[in-house]
């Protein structure tokens, strides 16, 4: 195996919880990517307008952000975390099953809001639990975690595709005119920003003919093993009969001490126990309580803020690029035909998933700080080249693939790096997940408005600016890392089951 025996032993001892957290993140990916391609069929199902149905996007994203902020509430014991993951993953299966029964756009928005809350809890809790289990070795397992969300995001559109309507799914007198534009409208839709699509006259009344319900029922069945896996983990930890019992550590103190024994001398300073209060890794509101700030240096806040700002930019780039690359390609000066331009979002997400897979072994050999540096520099250079060769269709595809690779490992690497700086006693996971969620929603809305006012060329200019800001914030993070107080090496290292 390409990792050392210590990490391998820890992985074997935590095999079931690790695989469970990975599978739950697959649910997250499955739920995050299905809405875009199925939205027009859902518009037919609810017999709503294009502007009304795009609010469903917003309800999901807003509640995802809310769920990410509140997810830390359930971290206080392992039982709470696993119960929250069980409820969230089961809710996603129920949402998939219920969506075909939603014939009103408001009801559909409420259902998607529930899905967003479940996704937000999954996002925060899964990252937290893996960091707690593996700590300084968490980078490789976080990379694998985020590979599974990419895999789920790739799979759900493939499941939905055979059941999408080739013609308008509401039969009326104006069906013929609207049907010819349907593929273009489907690929141009982005969250709560119909943009210049409002002039398309899609019928709202008539006979509904859509088979998209089968896609949702298939995804509900595919996702069903995930809550079952969480339930089995609850059963293994003896938490099913009585949820009020105290949580059990996934590793005993003796096992943890044995696994944390460093193989090299320079490993000693980073594998010692990081004493932290029980309130570490709380939800966002708990993190903001004044008691958590007593005695904290300014660098403590600076590391949280700059880390969150880096992910605000990079995850915002992921959202705005995947949302608007199709619209940018079909406009002047490129004028790519609709069918060819439709491959660009798939290419982008495909290389994000490939990059996360490649990052699993790479993260074992390379420090998280180095990986983040390569990522932000790569994003900046890619946008610069996209601007220089803005008239080249070939380079647009090359640049899209390159951007997906560089953005793929940014979040898990940044999370591992920031947690390591804070010695696992801050609120990095909650703050970073929240910052990333806000960035993905805000920058997408911002770029959509700018493109609408300034034209398609501003799409790449915005990306270049965001990439530059991400690099700048990362430079500040490196500076604050150097200023951050180092752990005392004179104190005897102790290990506590409370870490887990």
Residues 439, 305 within the same domain: yes
Integer CA distances (angstroms), 375 to 21, 326, 368, 379, in order: 25, 23, 10, 6
Does any domain span residue 155? yes
Instruction: Return the sign of the alpha-carbon dihedral for residues 345, 346, 350, 351.
Output: negative
Claim to verify: residue 229 and residue 301 sit in the same structural domain: no
Residue 388 lies in a domain: yes
Please give the Cα distance from 499 to 275 (Å, whole number): 9
Burial class for 406, CB neighbours closer than 10 Å (0-12, 13-18, 19+): buried
CATH number (domain holding residue 45): 1.20.1250.20
Query: What confidence score (pLDDT) does residue 388 get?
Result: 93
DSSP code per residue over 275-306: ---TTTT--HHHHTSGGGGTT--HHHHHHHHH
List the alpha helices (DSSP H) in 203-337. Answer: 212-223, 225-236, 253-259, 268-271, 284-287, 298-330
Provide the residue-wise pLDDT of the chain in tens; the chain has 500 residues. Answer: 556 788 888 888 999 999 999 999 998 888 887 777 777 788 888 888 777 777 887 888 889 888 887 777 776 778 888 899 999 999 999 999 999 999 899 999 999 999 999 998 998 888 888 888 888 888 888 889 889 988 888 888 888 888 877 666 655 555 444 455 555 555 555 544 444 444 445 555 555 667 888 999 999 999 999 999 999 998 888 777 554 444 444 444 444 444 444 444 334 333 333 333 334 455 555 565 555 556 667 888 899 899 999 999 999 999 888 878 887 888 888 888 877 887 888 889 889 989 999 998 898 889 999 999 999 999 999 999 999 998 899 999 999 999 999 999 999 999 889 888 887 666 777 888 888 888 988 888 888 888 878 888 888 999 999 999 999 999 999 999 988 877 654 444 443 333 33
Is there a domain that residue 57 lies in?
yes
Which residue's structure tokens are 């999901």? 60
- Cis peptide leading into 333, omega within 30 of 0? yes
Q: Is position 198 within any domain?
A: no
Residues 121 and 10 in one domain: yes
What span, in angstroms and rounded, lies between the C-alpha atoms of 156 and 152? 6
> Do 313 and 212 fall within a single domain?
no
176 within domain boundaries: no
CB within 8 A of 250, min separation 6: which ones? 13, 14, 17, 78, 133, 237, 500
Rounded Cα gap, residues 54 and 109, in angstroms: 9
Task: Give rounded-to-5 percent helix, strand, coil for the chain.
Answer: 75, 0, 25
Residue 20, token pair as written in the block: 């469970």
pLDDT at 173: 54
Domain count of the chain? Answer: 2
**Structure token pair of residue 3:** 């990792």
pTM for the whole structure = 0.75
For residue 3, give the 3-state DSSP assignment: coil
The domain of 211 spans 1-168+206-241
Q: Is residue 101 part of a domain?
A: yes
- Candidates 183, 456, 452; CA nearest to 342 is 183
Q: How open is the CA angle 366-372-374, to the nearest 5 degrees?
A: 80
Identify whether 252 is part of a domain.
Answer: no
CA distance 103 to 126: 33
Q: Are residues 308 and 211 in the same domain?
A: no
Domain assignment of residue 268, yes or no: no
Q: Are residues 5 and 81 in the same domain?
A: yes
In this structure, the answer to whether residues 473 and 328 fall within a common structural domain is yes
- How far is 310 from 314, CA to CA, in rounded Å? 6
């Amino acid at each position: 195996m390409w990792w050392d025996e210590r990490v391998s032993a820890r992985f074997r001892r935590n095999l079931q919880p690790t695989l469970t957290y990975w599978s739950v993140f697959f649910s997250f990916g499955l739920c995050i990517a299905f809405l875009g391609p199925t939205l027009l069929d859902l518009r037919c199902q609810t017999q709503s307008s294009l502007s009304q149905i795009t609010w469903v996007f917003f309800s999901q994203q807003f509640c995802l952000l809310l769920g990410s902020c509140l997810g830390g509430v359930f971290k206080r014991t392992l039982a709470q975390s696993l119960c929250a993951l069980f409820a969230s993953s089961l809710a996603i299966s129920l949402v998939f099953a219920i969506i075909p029964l939603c014939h009103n756009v408001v009801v559909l928005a409420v259902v998607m809001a529930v899905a967003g809350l479940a996704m937000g809890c999954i996002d925060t809790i899964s990252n937290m639990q893996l960091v707690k289990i593996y700590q300084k070795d968490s980078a490789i397992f976080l990379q694998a975690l985020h590979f599974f969300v990419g895999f789920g995001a790739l799979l759900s559109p493939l499941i939905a595709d055979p059941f999408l309507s080739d013609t308008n799914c509401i039969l009326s007198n104006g069906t013929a005119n609207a049907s010819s534009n349907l593929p273009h409208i489907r690929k141009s839709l982005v969250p709560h920003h119909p943009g210049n699509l409002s002039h398309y006259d899609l019928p709202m009344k008539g006979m509904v003919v859509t088979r998209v319900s089968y896609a949702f029922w298939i995804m509900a069945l595919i996702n069903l093993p995930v809550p079952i896996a969480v339930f089995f983990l609850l059963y293994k930890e003896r938490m099913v009969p009585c949820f009020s019992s105290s949580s059990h550590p996934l590793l005993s103190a003796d096992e943890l001490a044995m696994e944390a024994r460093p193989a090299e001398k320079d490993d000693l300073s980073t594998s010692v126990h990081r004493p932290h209060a029980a309130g570490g890794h709380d939800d966002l509101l708990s993190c903001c309580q004044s008691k958590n700030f007593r005695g904290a240096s300014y660098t403590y806040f600076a590391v949280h803020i700059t880390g969150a700002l880096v992910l605000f930019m990079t995850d915002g780039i992921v959202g705005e690029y995947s949302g608007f690359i199709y619209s940018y390609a079909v406009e002047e000066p490129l004028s790519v035909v609709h069918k060819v331009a439709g491959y660009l979002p798939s290419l982008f997400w495909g290389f994000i998933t490939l990059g996360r897979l490649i990052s699993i072994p790479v993260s074992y050999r390379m420090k998280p700080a180095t990986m983040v540096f390569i990522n932000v520099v790569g994003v900046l250079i890619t946008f610069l080249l996209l601007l220089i060769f803005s008239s080249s269709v070939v380079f647009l595809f090359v640049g899209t693939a390159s951007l997906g690779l560089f953005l793929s490992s940014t979040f898990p690497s940044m999370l591992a790096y920031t947690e390591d700086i804070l010695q696992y006693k801050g609120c990095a996971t909650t703050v970073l997940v929240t910052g990333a969620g806000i960035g993905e929603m805000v920058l997408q809305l911002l770029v959509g408005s700018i493109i609408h006012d300034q034209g398609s060329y501003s799409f790449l200019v915005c990306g270049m600016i965001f990439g530059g800001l991400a690099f700048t914030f990362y430079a500040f993070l490196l500076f604050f890392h150097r200023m951050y107080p180092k752990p005392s090496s004179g104190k005897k290292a102790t290990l506590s089951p409370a870490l887990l």
